[in-house]
Structure 1
Amino acid sequence: MTDRQEMLYRVESDPDWNTIAAGTARVSLHPDETTPEVIVVSGPCPRCRHETVHAEPLVAYANALDASGLLSRLLLRRAAETGSREVEVICACPAAHPEAGESRGCGASWVLRVEWGV
C-alpha cells in the first residue's frame, strides 16, 4: 500500500471497512442520549487512516416544516426514543489526496449501525 499521504482520492466502499470502523469509531449523540438530535461519528478512516468526523442529523428540516414548532417537537421526541440508525460515513479527512479536486477526504465510505436508549 502507498503512503497514506499519497493515497489517491477514489469513491469506493468495502464491507471490511464497516467491521474495521466498528472497532475504531467514536460515536456520540448530541445534545445527549436522552434527547438526541445529531449522531457524531469520529475516528480514523479505515482506508487512509486519517482522522475524520461525520455528523448525521436525526431530524432534518423540522423547523422548516412547522412554523409553530409542534411538528418539530414531535419529531425530536420520536428521535429520542429507543432507536437505531445505519449511518453512512464518508471520509472527510483534512489530508490532501491526489485527484480529490474540490472534494475532501480520500473518497472512502462505510456504514455503522448506531443504537441508543437500549
Structure 2
Amino acid sequence: MTDQQDLLYRVESDPAWNPVAAGTARVGLHPDETAPEVIVVSGPCPRCRHETVHAEPLVAYADALTRTGLLARLLLRRATEAGSREVEVICACSAVHPEAGEHKGCGASWVLHVEWGV
C-alpha cells in the first residue's frame, strides 16, 4: 500500500470524494450561525487523508468600505439570511507531496453543500 505522504501533487477532483468528505468534514460558521461571514471546513482530505482547513468567505468587503458602512451592512444582512452554498474545498494539508512545488496540499478538490439558518 502506498503511504499517503507519497501521493504526487495532482490537481484533480473526483465526484466520489464529495460524499466521503461530507461524512468526515467539520463545518463551522464564523463568527456564528446567526451572522455568518465565513464558512470554515476542516477534516481529512478524501484523497491523501491528511488534515486540511478551508475558509470560504460569505461576505466580501472592498478596501474602500468600512464594516459599518451602508453597503457593508447590506452585504452582511444578505449573507446572514438562511441560505446554502456549494463550497469547493481544496486540499491545503501541511504534508509534503512530491511535485507540489510552491503549492500546499495534494491538489485534490471536492464540493460540500453547506446550509445555515434553516
> Which category of TM-score, normalised to the shorter sequence, fits these structures?
over 0.9
Structure 2: gaps spanning 5 or more residues: none
Partner AA of 1:109 in structure 2: S
The reply on whether 1:45 has 2:76 as its aligned counterpart is: no
Q: Percent identity?
A: 80
Q: How many residues are paired up?
A: 117
2:78 is matched with which residue? Answer: 78
- Cα displacement string for residues 81-117 of structure 1 (whole angstroms, at most 9, x for unaligned residues): 0000000000000000000000000000000010000
**Alpha-carbon distance, 1:63 to partner:** 4.3
Runs ≥4 residues deviating over 3 A: 65-68
Q: CA RMSD in A?
A: 1.2
Find the aligned partners of 2:33 and 2:96 in 1 and give their Cα distance: 34
The 8 Å contact of residues 36 and 58 in structure 1, kept in 2 or not, is answered as yes
TM-score by length of 1: 0.95
2:97 and 2:116 mapped to 1: Cα distance?
34
Q: State the distance in 2 between where 1:106 and 1:27 align.
A: 21
Shift of 1:4: 0.4
| Alpha-carbon separation, structure 1, partners of 2:64 and 2:57 | 15
3-state SS in 1 of match to 2:10: coil
Aligned to 1:9: 9
Letter in 2 for 1:12: E
**CA deviation after TM superposition for structure 1 residue 65, in Å:** 5.4
Unpaired runs of 5+ residues, structure 1, are: none
Where does residue 29 of structure 2 map in the other structure? 29
Name 1:92's counterpart in structure 2. Answer: 92
Check whether the contact 1:81–1:117 (CA below 8 A) recurs between aligned residues: yes
